[in-house]
Structure 1
Amino acid sequence: MSSLALDAEALYGELARGVRGLLGADTQLAGVVSGGWWLAERLQRELGRAGAPGALSSALHRDDFAKRGLAGNGQTTLPFEVDGADILLLDDVLFTGRTIRAVINELFDYGRPARVRLAVLVDRGGRELPVAAEFAAARVTLPATQSLELAREGDGAFSFRIEARS
């Protein structure tokens, strides 16, 4: 385990403030399963937005699908029309950019949005693809040998787990 301490709830508050500035009246929220969807779901509710946020799975478009398979990933659910939509995509941790690439491919399987922007709780660097978030609540540097994952407690509170990568 690492000694890096990140307050996920404080970062969520920062994300909520940053996201407010990115939202138009017609902007749809969609989160990457699972951590990003947890963020989208809570933001949708706390910001008083009508309807439900979308959930996007990266499973079928991952470049390591043959190795990982479906890996217990949730399914894509988009309760709004994708064609012509302004979509704010949310994720918990932005690292290599490969998950975001896969999620955007999944999104385009459902239609052609007018605009897709990305907001993340933590940008940890280490990009392998040219992917950037319009808003990141925090930027941290972790060794490639560590993983950073958002966890959701039974009461809905967020925390982080930092573990050695296999």
Structure 2
Amino acid sequence: MHTENPLISPPPDAETLYHELERAIAPYRDTFDAFVGIHAGGSWIAERLRAALAPTLPLGVIDVSFYRDDLAQRGLGRRDVRPSELPFSVEGARILLIDDVLYTGRTVRAAINELFDYGRPACVRFAALADRGGRELPICPDFCPWRSPTPLAPHVRLELIVTPDQTFRWELVA
């Protein structure tokens, strides 16, 4: 069900936020050895950022489905589980980890755990398109163009959609 509740204000236009994120990361592009997107929304953003800022850098994708701390309670919960792909050595790499929405911090924690299973990176910095509030873990993005002034209700999902013309838009789902 899509929500039209006026008390739930969506973030600014997703495409505008993407360009703000790109501008924020641009001065630091030479400080990274690889971009890694968290499946699925983060991987879409990572692909575009890499193409715009650092087309020669390796691009990885992490699916944290098997690293979630609620796997035993929820099961996989998704049908689009895919293997992670890290076509570079994580050992000693300076990685920009990218996701679409930061919420509790648990997805980012799972992604970092998975990265360390592949090796010990020199550093991991984190970028998110939107921070909806509601943190449960001490995770904070290094780059984030929009932070919700008040946390969105737990029953509301903020989803990033890629349109047919390859631009981004938000969808609030309750």
Same fold (TM over 0.5): yes
- Give unmatched runs, 5+ long, in structure 2: none
| Among 79, 100, 103, the residue aligned to 1:95 | 103
Q: Structure 2: how far apart are the matches of 1:23 and 1:53?
A: 13
- Code of the residue aligned with 1:54 in structure 2: it is G
In structure 2, what is the equivalent of residue 19 of structure 1? 25
Distance 1:52 1:98, change over 3 A: same
- Code of the residue aligned with 2:18 in structure 1: it is Y
Normalising to structure 1: TM-score of the pair? 0.92
- The structure whose residues are more often strand, as a share, is 1
Q: Does 1:9 align with 2:15?
A: yes
Please state how far the C-alpha of 1:81 moved relative to its aligned partner. Answer: 1.1
- Asked if 2 retains the 8 angstrom alpha-carbon contact of 1:34 and 1:73, the reply is no
- Asked if 1 retains the 8 angstrom alpha-carbon contact of 2:37 and 2:99, the reply is yes
- Code of the residue aligned with 1:162 in structure 2: it is L
Q: Does 1:118 align with 2:135?
A: no
| Among 153, 161, 173, the residue aligned to 1:143 | 153
Q: Secondary structure of 2:112's match? A: helix
- Asked if 2 retains the 8 angstrom alpha-carbon contact of 1:60 and 1:70, the reply is no
- Code of the residue aligned with 2:131 in structure 1: it is D
Percent sequence identity is 45
In structure 2, what is the equivalent of residue 28 of structure 1? 34
Q: Does 1:68 align with 2:78?
A: no
- Code of the residue aligned with 1:29 in structure 2: it is F
| Among 64, 84, 88, the residue aligned to 2:92 | 84
Please state how far the C-alpha of 1:111 moved relative to its aligned partner. Answer: 0.6
Paired residues, number: 164
- Asked if 1 retains the 8 angstrom alpha-carbon contact of 2:32 and 2:96, the reply is no
More displaced 10-residue stretch of structure 1: 120-129 or 138-147: 138-147
In structure 2, what is the equivalent of residue 40 of structure 1? 46
Q: Structure 2: how far apart are the matches of 1:19 and 1:46?
A: 11
